[in-house]
Homo-oligomer: A and B are copies of this chain.
Amino acid sequence: MGSARSNGEDSINYNNNSREVEIAVMEIVHKVEVPPPKSTINKLKLRFKETFFPDDPFRKFKGQTLSSKCILAAQFLFPILSWAPNYSLSLFKSDLISGLTIASLAIPQGISYAKLANLPPIIGLYSSFVPPLVYAVLGSSKDLAVGPVSIASLIMGSMLRQAVNPNTDPYLFLHLAFTSTLFAGIFQASLGIFRLGFIIDFLSKATLIGFMAGAAIIVSLQQLKSLLGIVHFTKQMGLVPVLTSVFHNTNEWSWQTIVMGMSFLGMLLMARHVSMKRPNLFWISAGAPLASVILSTLLVFLFKAQNHGISVIGHLEHGLNPPSWDKLILNTSYLSMVMKTGLISGIISLTEGVAVGRTFASLKDYKVDGNKEMMAIGLMNIVGSCSSCYVTTGAFSRSAVNHNAGCKTAMSNVVMAVTVMVTLLFLMPLFVYTPNVVLGAIIVTAVIGLIDLPATYHIWKMDKMDFLVLLSAFLGVIFISVQDGLAIAIGISIFRVLLQITRPKIVSLGNIPGSDIYRNLQQYRDARRVPGFLILAIEAPINFANTTYLHERIGRWIEDEMDKGGKIASMILDLSSVSAIDTSGISFLMDLKKMLEKRDLQLVFVNPVGEVMEKIQRANDIHHFLGLESLYLTTGEAVMSLTSSVK
């Protein structure tokens, strides 16, 4: 911010006629103003609006007729209405191609992810049919490909398994999964409706990178069961118990399975590598999983490999999603566990969905409304829980393929859903001989993309504290548990923010020669101390959590100056960066003034901003702790005015 000299004032420091000096000083000193008064109600209204409606979703409605308001409202609730009327054949061609492409990914991934969540494979296909249709009507992203995702599947599977064994009690487990999905949906939709979407912002990028990488490793470790053909595998998720289990059961390793697994894994990773090097060859990695499924199924069928130690999916139901609202378990002792599972898997899948939607929206330069997306994803899961689906969201890998394949609207999700429907109705018997080892290879290939080494390196270079958050999320996930790792990382992130407030920065300012600029002495080597002054700037809101610290720290600062033999007559406190203050903060300013008066030091404040100025004014009306000469608009003016008054 700025400080000033108007034209004729350069003479001040050189003019010995003190009378003239004083007049000149009076002329240039600007007043600190109090913002125009506003009623408490108006202030609360404004704050409410900034907190919950920062995007001002109703601005389009202003000044419209009733009928166009109705149309806008309908379009607001059902984004499909804003694009469907202008939908054309050429758009459909693009959507058809991209829809078929993501369907070829969605079918094998759906089956695999359902297994990851300890659910029957067909649930993964059900979940790739209904939710995409719901999203096509409600969602505002053009690129999001909806369906089950690896991390949410892992979380739901592992949390429910702590209460129920999916092998001995498959129906109870399944019903609890539907119920958790219902709660996930309710929770997601409520966040959107109550405009609390900012809650997911507390998952920082560093937290997510660490968490995702940890989860990817946990998921991959789980696949060692099918990749090695182990029968007796641990029920735990951690790195240590899984590796122990793997190396205690080497006698169960099946070489046929290992050979098949490694070949297909190699093929899939190669396909992924090619597509990453050449984005226009995206269809290679997009088609590879389905090709692997078909090829491996044929191999098993031809060589009767299921009799040679290779485990296969086996018989699957066929037909569309049966209703499941009668299977929701709401009145038992499982309720709190199910709600917790819904909450955590809901918030994680929501974070993924919203982040993916925003990423592609900014690539194509359109806007995605976070709160509306939350409602869409939430409703999609509520509907899903009543039609035999488990938790779904926008998947990063499939959305990327969708985008690369040239999708234009959410119609690509409809195409995908129809393809899955055809599969469900007619093609299910073909999966009987699909080997589990290939599903494992597909999962490993998918989750390996979640480990983002370049971003990790970038965070390490940029900010060591962020790296610590990332590392703790990662280590927490692989050594403790998925939920605890997440909780630890969020805890550290919030603690770090609170610490910034508890220990705000105080910097000492100096004058940059030949100017009226005052800057941090530590940062600007040119800056020079002004003799006789201690100029400090506080760089944080002043509130209950830091007043004690500020008091002690500033006291020590003055003592340090005294020890160095510096003679100080005045202290200037630059409040430019103090964006807010509470009653404890005001008491602190008054106490500081008193403390300095006892030491014969003058204290002046510089540039208190709106809210802070208002409260200082109000406190001064009651306590009269500030003289007329205690507030300046700029540090330069304060120094000039105090220097001349000392003379």
* Contact A523/B33 with A518-B1, A579-B504, A579-B539 known, Cβ cut-off 8 Å: yes
* Contact A493/B544 with A1-B509, A10-B7, A635-B2 known, Cβ cut-off 8 Å: yes
In the assembled complex, the Cα of A369 lies from the Cα of B433 at a distance in Å of 75
**Binding-face segment, A71-79, A113-121, A460-468:** A460-468
Which residues of chain B have C-beta atoms less than 8 A from A553's C-beta?
54
Which residues of chain B have C-beta atoms less than 8 A from A520's C-beta?
35, 609-610
Asked whether, in the complex, the Cβ of A462 is within 8 Å of the Cβ of B615, the reply is yes
Asked whether, in the complex, the Cβ of A464 is within 8 Å of the Cβ of B201, the reply is no
Determine if A426 is an interface residue (Cβ-Cβ < 8 Å). Answer: no
Which residues of chain B have C-beta atoms less than 8 A from A602's C-beta?
none
In the assembled complex, the Cα of A2 lies from the Cα of B634 at a distance in Å of 6
A576: which of B1, B198, B497 is its contact (CB, 8 Å)?
B1
Asked whether, in the complex, the Cβ of A5 is within 8 Å of the Cβ of B5, the reply is yes
Which residues of chain B have C-beta atoms less than 8 A from A524's C-beta?
33
Docked complex: A536-553 residues within 8 A CB-CB of B: 537, 539-541, 543-549, 552-553
Asked whether, in the complex, the Cβ of B461 is within 8 Å of the Cβ of A517, the reply is no
Which residues of chain B have C-beta atoms less than 8 A from A552's C-beta?
54-55
In the assembled complex, the Cα of A526 lies from the Cα of B30 at a distance in Å of 11
Which residues of chain B have C-beta atoms less than 8 A from A206's C-beta?
544, 582-584
Determine if A12 is an interface residue (Cβ-Cβ < 8 Å). Answer: no
Asked whether, in the complex, the Cβ of A2 is within 8 Å of the Cβ of B5, the reply is no
Chain A interface residue count, CB cutoff 8 Å, equals 105
Asked whether, in the complex, the Cβ of A507 is within 8 Å of the Cβ of B609, the reply is yes
Determine if A337 is an interface residue (Cβ-Cβ < 8 Å). Answer: no
Asked whether, in the complex, the Cβ of B609 is within 8 Å of the Cβ of A549, the reply is no
CB of A138, distance to nearest CB on chain B (Å): 21
Determine if A362 is an interface residue (Cβ-Cβ < 8 Å). Answer: yes
Q: Chain A 443-478, CB within 8 Å of chain B: the 1/0 string?
A: 000000000000000110111111000000000000
Asked whether, in the complex, the Cβ of A583 is within 8 Å of the Cβ of B458, the reply is yes
Which residues of chain B have C-beta atoms less than 8 A from A613's C-beta?
523
In the assembled complex, the Cα of A459 lies from the Cα of B587 at a distance in Å of 11
Determine if A45 is an interface residue (Cβ-Cβ < 8 Å). Answer: no
Determine if A290 is an interface residue (Cβ-Cβ < 8 Å). Answer: no
Asked whether, in the complex, the Cβ of B544 is within 8 Å of the Cβ of A55, the reply is no
Asked whether, in the complex, the Cβ of A2 is within 8 Å of the Cβ of B517, the reply is yes
In the assembled complex, the Cα of A104 lies from the Cα of B36 at a distance in Å of 55
Determine if A365 is an interface residue (Cβ-Cβ < 8 Å). Answer: yes
CB of A542, distance to nearest CB on chain B (Å): 11
Determine if A558 is an interface residue (Cβ-Cβ < 8 Å). Answer: no
Give 12 new A-B contacts, CB below 8 A, not counting A40-B464, A201-B544. A1-B519, A2-B516, A7-B10, A33-B525, A55-B552, A55-B556, A362-B591, A365-B598, A462-B615, A494-B498, A507-B609, A520-B609
- 30 sampled A-B residue pairs with Cβ under 8 A: A2-B2, A2-B515, A2-B635, A3-B3, A4-B512, A5-B515, A5-B516, A6-B514, A33-B523, A36-B522, A36-B525, A40-B464, A43-B464, A44-B464, A51-B503, A54-B549, A55-B556, A198-B548, A198-B549, A201-B546, A201-B547, A202-B544, A203-B544, A206-B583, A370-B548, A462-B586, A497-B498, A507-B610, A540-B541, A540-B579
